[in-house]
Amino acid sequence: MQVVMLGLPGAGKGTQAARICEDFHIPHISTGDMFRAAIAEKTPLGQEVKLYLDSGRLVPDELTIRVVADRLNQPDTENGFLLDGFPRTLPQATALETSLGELGKPLDYALYIHVPQDILLARLTGRRICKVCGATYHVVYHPPLKEGVCDKCEGPLYQRSDDTEDAVKTRLEQYAQTAPLVEFYRDRNVLYQIDGQQDIDEVYRDIRTVLLATS
């Protein structure tokens, strides 16, 4: 099963992707997570992308496409994968289509989590992430049992450097480059729109229904 997630920053892509991947046993490939790991490890890639992430701008297509192509060549993608945060521009979507064509693995689902823009700032500024296992929380909508501590692994929670009001504003502006992908995938009959304004469990229930009904 090959899946991509679409939606505005804070729509809930990462939250739902983690559940899908656990349930359907496919790797969760998040370009944002890959870039943040490279920044944390201070690799050459991390140095190259840091300013883009901190300010909320998109990393150039050529670099992003290369990083994803390398990742899709890893053996764990044999039985499918979920891409979270990629593609994000038309050139990225076209490049993905070409490489999936070469691999003989067509895309099965583009899950578009739809939310109105006005709720996103609160979601993003309240987000907290586990430094150890990457689990995502929210101070109001999905709080951990103990403040500042991950329920799963007891790791410390932190706030992303691009979850500030300024960076969120830039990220929402950059989304203009991603919006055309909804039509791109609708044209290919793989677009499934999900109501992302419901609570986390309800959103997942709808996603699961789509994946089970059409697989």
If one asks whether residue 52 binds ligand AP5 (CB under 6 A), the answer comes out as yes
* Cα–Cα distance for residue pair 68/19, rounded to 1 Å: 21
Measured CA distances, 56 to 4, 31, 93 (Å) = 21, 14, 20
Which of 2, 3, 9, 72 is in the footprint of ligand AP5 by CB under 6 A?
9
Which of 18, 68, 135, 167 is in the footprint of Zn ion by CB under 5 A?
135
Task: Please tell me which residue in 171, 186, 188, 208 is annotated as part of the active site.
Answer: 171
| 179 Cβ contact partners less than 8 Å away, ≥ 6 residues apart | none
If one asks whether residue 153 binds Zn ion (CB under 5 A), the answer comes out as yes
Q: Are 110 and 13 in contact (CB under 8 A)?
A: no
Q: What does the angle CA 16 – CA 19 – CA 122 come to, to the nearest 5 degrees?
A: 35
Determine the 3-state secondary structure of 52 from DSSP: helix
Query: Which of these ranges, 70-78, 97-105, 130-138, 187-195, lies near ligand AP5 under the rule CB under 6 A?
Result: 130-138
- From first CA to last CA, the distance across the chain in angstroms is 8
Query: Which of these ranges, 27-35, 155-163, 180-188, 203-211, lies near Zn ion under the rule CB under 5 A?
Result: 155-163
Q: Count CA atoms within 13 Å of residue 83 on its CB side.
A: 25
For ligand AP5, the binding residues in 178-197 under the rule CB under 6 A are 196
For ligand AP5, the binding residues in 85-124 under the rule CB under 6 A are 85-86, 88, 92, 123-124
Which of 156, 199, 209, 214 is in the footprint of ligand AP5 by CB under 6 A?
199
Task: Let me know if 186 is a catalytic residue.
Answer: no
Query: SS3 letters for 154-166?
Result: CCEEECCCCCCHH
Q: Max Cα separation, the chain?
A: 48
Binding stretches for ligand AP5 (CB under 6 A): 7, 9-15, 31-32, 35, 52-53, 56-59, 64, 85-86, 88, 92, 123-124, 126-127, 136-138, 141-142, 162, 171, 196, 199-200, 203
Binding stretches for Zn ion (CB under 5 A): 130, 132-133, 135, 150, 152-153, 155
Supply the residues annotated as catalytic: 13, 88, 127, 160, 171
